[in-house]
Amino acid sequence: MASSPFPPVAAAAASAPPRLAPRHPFAAAAARRSSLSFRAATRRPALPLSSSAAAATPLRCAHRRALSPRSRRRAQGFGAASASALDLAASTWGGAAGSDGCLSCFPKSRRGRSGLARLAPCALPHASGLAFGSRLSGAKVRPSHILHAAGPDEPHVASPTWSETSLDKPDLDHAISKEELEDVLNTPLPEHPKLIRGQLKNGLRYLILPNKVPANRFEAHMEVHVGSIDEEEDEQGIAHMIEHVAFLGSKKREKLLGTGARSNAYTDFHHTVFHIHSPTKTKEYGEDLLPSVLDALNEIAFHPKFSSSRVEKERRAILSELQMMNTIEYRVDCQLLQYLHSENKLSNRFPIGLQEQIQKWDPDKIRRFHERWYYPANATLYLVGEIDDIPRAIREIEAVFEHTLSENEGNPVPSGSPFGAMASLFAPKLPGGFAANLTGEKSPATDKIKPIKRERQAVRPPVEHKWSLPGVTQDAKPPAIFQHELIQSFSINMFCKIPVSKVQTYKDLRSVLMKRIFLSALHFRINTRYKSSNPPFTSVELDHSDSGREGCTVTTLTVTAEPQNWRSAIKVAVYEVRRLKEFGVTMGEMTRYMDALIKDSEQLAMMIDSVPSVDNLDFIMESDALGHTVMDQLQGHESLLAVAETVTLEEVNTVGAEVLEFISDFGEPNAPLPAAIVACVPKKVHVDGVGETDFEIYPDEITEAIKTGLDEPIYPEPELEVPKELITQSELNELKLQHNPSFVPLTEEENVVKVFDTETGIAQRRLSNGISINYKITQNEARVGVMRLIVGGGRATEDSESKGSVIVGVRTLSEGGCVGNFSREQVELFCVNNLINCSLESNEEFIFMEFRFALRDNGMRAAFQLLHMVLEHNVWLEDAFDRATQLYLAYYRSIPKSLERSTAHKLMLAMLNHDERFVEPSPHSLQKLTLQSVKDAVMNQFVGGNMEVSIVGDFTEEEVESCVLDYLGTVRAASSPNTEERIEKISFRPFPSDLHFQQVYIKDTDERACAYIAGPAPNRWGFATEGNDLFNVIRRSSDEISEPVISDLTGKKHIDVRSHPLFFGVTLSLLAEIINSRLFTTVRDSMGLTYDVSFELNLFDKLDLGWYVIAVTSTPSKVHKAVDACKGVLRGLHSSRIVERELDRAKRTLLMKHEAETKTNAYWLGLLAHLQSSSVPRKDVSCIKELTTLYESATIEDLYLAYEHLKVDDSSLFACIGIAGAESGEDTNDDDADMDLHGMAPMGGQGLSTMTRPTT
């Protein structure tokens, strides 16, 4: 799943009030997975041309940036979400950092942070957004119950126009009285004009929204309103168990797999969701797939088979899942949730359940829970996608579900409670499905409960909260400390809980806007005020989010730091909070952020027809869960404009100050009490010259640090001058006279200055300074563009004396953030004003810089100006180099604290002969680096002929070529020795060696295990180690075994697959799909050795090598068997040959993925990469044009030809098993390893994760 670009030091005030319209995804950097976790969140089909220069790989230790546990989850963000203009203050130079690859049974954790479930689409999301909804509205929430209690007997369409009162409201440009303004602001917000709601006679509710993206596909989600909060004491985890058994036991779901449909399921506190992403029709016969999809959901939700064999399979899978997800990050999340909600059931009802109970349940026990909660009146069906015939869709829903009644239900249910599903967020729920008073009485034994007449769940969640409100009398809780040996850095969270404020009127929206402006100022101040010096913190985040799943709004101040700096970090954070609260934002800040929000909102309104169905669906579920009015993007923008006119500086500061009172007024008599203060700290810390020493910290020391920071003298914020442009027109004219930029022939052989391919719309140019240009005009995203600079070289150019120089150098440039005479603050605000998102990164082969920009108000020229300044006037700062070095040093030292990272690190070093270019730089290597050495390592690669720029977006030919000539054509031409000549040899470790199989042991309080199996593969273009061209081998093999290619009757174009440059890219991608399917079927489903296993390829473009990796999680007792089983599947393709059915399914998966991705600008950036690169000579436009044909033409024999070059024999294969536990590595009698030394609460251990992963 996805992840998103993230600031180098995340000082993000990620305020996330409720969003009112879905955002558009920013896939360019957001879709990249982080390499930190060495595994994919969910395995995405590998497309042979889809890997950009920045593509992360499943087993690559190249560090993007050291993330705190919570900021790493923030980076998960929204699947393909993107950075907002306001969040760019911190991410202008930030390298993209993805999620750590974990999905949850908390709905779609790819769309929000895990753990504490602050799953709220940010009002101004981290990754881009050009959206009112995604910016001003986004509450990080999870879908829950629908607000509308009963719904009409017949479906209806919300009014597409504003109400008369809103149309007749006075012109706000004229002075009006306070009373008149209040009346206007109390006007209800308009509702989504296309959203259809209805209810069947049996109580099942449905929502339908026509949506065009992706074309010819739709989303069908069945949400059953039951989750872990409904479980009794002896049922902890049973809702999740039913999810597994019902979903994977469905035969009708399995039949859909051959159609190109994708499906999954998840469980959280309050609901279970089964979802299917399907084509609208079958490819072969054009049959409508909606009836089949609905039929499958009906079987899964209401008619599952609880066979003993399926229950046992899923029991094993869940127990494996439980251990797999029990990382230290999840355990930290558990602690935070337990302290935050210590007064209610949310603190001890985690969806994954308890191991000892999961091991005991029989099918009858599971079936009884299903009978109690799974019935139509307790469920909602969502359909979003290309649904042209709405009445027909409704008839299909009625035909499939109308006769579905629960076993104990004899009559149709009434229309439901007049108060709706959200009647009470804070009252408990009795097992029979009807509300009860807060009696405090214990429920009867669950097995004896006989459900009566079924009505929709009317109360949720069944919890009570203690609010952090001024004047509320309650005892202050001392800071809690969670200390663990696997925690590397210091972090502290201060929580505030208040009731959710529904956003239903213009007044509500206005409050959201004012909070967002206020908190954006804090975000920027902390990031920029301390970035130019060496700050005592690693990150400071302020998150203000609604949580439908927790029934509250939570404000969280999170501070992370190196342990030795914890006091100073706390002081800085609370000092800045108090300063903002006391003095407020300046007029310049308010104007700046207001303008950025309006620009962002306008941009999203223009992209109203480009929002993917899944994002629209999630948005509706989230909004209904919280009771917010659902608007589309255009309505959201118009509403924002309406309220923006009424906002004043005084009100912004008044509303914003209320959010911060629990911090700024800490310790004062009438101040709101924090809901919890939780510090998560290591047991041992590294001290230079001493080594590992005990880390001691006490609650009263934390309290003292907070009070000391608040007592510091404060001063108001000065106004900052923000440049309107980085290059003036006069400077540009001078540059053009000096360099005389022009387009030149693409090759010396042909006098062609422009190549345009009519089929793909790709244009290719070359500048007189040697820079190659590729661009494509699309309407995928209205008036939005993306740009990527790719510089050949990357970490491969590091030699034995400069290990880490490139990656540290790129980070240094990112940390500094200055260009020319402009400070970091000025550059960041320039990006905010122009809606530019920028990231700078490196990998083994390339350095690359990515931009996303809006084209309004010369936004594209602004992005090109910034790129020009980076290339021509970059600034290298000593303190930025120090910060970059310290980040990598801390990251390296944290490797032994992570089972997955230490296992992968050891495997990579063994496989690649201790080549440090493919892992994190060691402390010894870092000590050798200087500012000059890292600068030289990076800038020596920035030469004209070694740079390629690709641009994709909704611009004109004149616009893009003018920018290219003006700002890239005026970059100085420079030359450098061929970087390839300076690349030291890369080789796999020869056999025999005792490092082909290794084990890693980590001391931990809980048992866990994982393993990686890897081996050599060719690169994407058919080159193997030592520069061997495998196409020569293929030609010889083809002469011997190939059958002649015969045209079929369809008249489709046929090509010689085996001589095509993409032969290995295509065939290995298809192989990966097939191997993954077999791994799941064999290792997980049949043998029950794992919950999660995946096969992934890392195919380089420039380097003459690649590798594959199998990642498997298991238990210490089963991990060796799991490794053997994975090897058996990998090597078993000869004894159990691939059949046509497998190949067809793999083709459909990849072809549909390719088709869907071509609707995104980010994907096209990946396709354009290296079109003119001399280091990737085999790539040309035909590789893009013929990709679909290559997939369709590939045969089983083609796959076996490629398979011969995956080295899977014992002499080539490398494996490393990682085991964590109390007995691992060394004996220990410390039974209280999870208990801190000062009487703090112990860690809960297994089964207390706040989320579980999707079923598949």
- Which residues are tagged catalytic? 243, 314
For residue 906, count CB atoms less than 10 angstroms from its CB and return exposed for 0-12, middle for 13-18, buried for 19 or more: buried
Vertex 503 angle, CA 500 and 505, to 5°: 140
For 126, which DSSP code? B
Residue 168, amino acid = D
Q: Could you tell me if 1224 and 1002 are in contact, meaning their C-beta atoms sit under 8 angstroms apart?
A: yes
Among 708, 570, 700, 560, which residue's Cα sits nearest to residue 1238? 700
3-state secondary structure of 1046: coil
3-state secondary structure of 847: strand
Among 285, 281, 263, which residue's Cα sits nearest to residue 387? 281
962: which residues sit within 8 A by CB, 6+ positions away? none
β-strands 762-766, 772-777 pairing: antiparallel
Q: Distance (Å, rounded) from C-alpha 809 to C-alpha 61?
A: 17
Residue with tokens 């255009």: 634
HEC secondary structure over 364-392: HHHHHHHHHHCCHHHEEEEEEECCCCHHH
β-strands 205-210, 379-385 pairing: parallel
Containing H/E element for 1097? strand 1093-1099
Vertex 587 angle, CA 581 and 593, to 5°: 85
Q: Could you tell me if 804 and 921 are in contact, meaning their C-beta atoms sit under 8 angstroms apart?
A: yes
For 802, which DSSP code? S
Vertex 601 angle, CA 598 and 605, to 5°: 140
DSSP for 1193-1222? H--HHHHHHHHTTS--STTT-EEEEEEEET
Structure tokens at 445: 């034994």
Facing residues of 197 across strands? 156, 207
Report H helices in 1011-1118: 1030-1041, 1063-1079
Question: How crowded is residue 3: how many other Cβ atoms within 10 Å of its Cβ?
Answer: 32
| 611, HSE (Cβ side, Cα atoms, 13 Å) | 31
Question: How crowded is residue 117: how many other Cβ atoms within 10 Å of its Cβ?
Answer: 28
Length of the chain: 1256
Q: Distance (Å, rounded) from C-alpha 344 to C-alpha 500?
A: 17
Cα(first)–Cα(last) distance of the chain, in Å? 13
Q: Distance (Å, rounded) from C-alpha 840 to C-alpha 399?
A: 54
1095: which residues sit within 8 A by CB, 6+ positions away? 1072, 1075, 1076, 1079, 1108, 1109, 1110, 1130
For residue 1059, count CB atoms less than 10 angstroms from its CB and return exposed for 0-12, middle for 13-18, buried for 19 or more: exposed
Residue with tokens 């195919």: 1099
Q: Distance (Å, rounded) from C-alpha 831 to C-alpha 96?
A: 16
Facing residues of 850 across strands? 788, 839
The radius of gyration of the chain from alpha carbons, rounded to an integer in Å, stands at: 29
Report H helices in 695-780: 699-711, 729-739
3-state secondary structure of 542: strand
Q: Could you tell me if 529 and 576 are in contact, meaning their C-beta atoms sit under 8 angstroms apart?
A: yes
Residue 232, amino acid = E
Residue with tokens 């909060």: 229
